[in-house]
Amino acid sequence: MEFEAWQHAEGEWTPPTNEEWDRISERLLPALRIAWFTMYKSKPELEQISESLDDDAFKEMVNAIIDAQRIFQEAAGLLQGAEVRLMCSAASAIKKNDPEGLVGA
């Protein structure tokens, strides 16, 4: 598998800096906990919770989950791509150093 290094582009997604993580984690991490909590609730339980929240609180909760999902998906895609590149490069380096595949045989 061949690949080229990415080239920076105007407006590209970049991972948050440490300072940005401090700021956005205040919103992302509670959203992650709420999502986890939600998955362990039945539909009737969630109906009751949604009825107990006013419209603004419900919208804020859902929007926080949507925002967290977007950021975590972008990060997961980056991590998956980096893993593939590292494993591909390692396999290629091994093949160059041992073209017969004899090491470890």
**Chain centre to alpha carbon of residue 80:** 9
Q: What is the pLDDT of residues 7-55, one digit of tens each?
A: 999 998 888 899 998 998 888 999 999 999 999 999 999 999 999 999 9
Q: What Å distances lie between residue 6 and 2, 3, 16, 70, 80, CA to CA?
A: 13, 9, 18, 21, 15
Q: What is the pLDDT of residues 14-27, one digit of tens each?
A: 888 999 989 988 88
pLDDT mean over 91-102: 79
Q: What is the pTM of this model?
A: 0.72
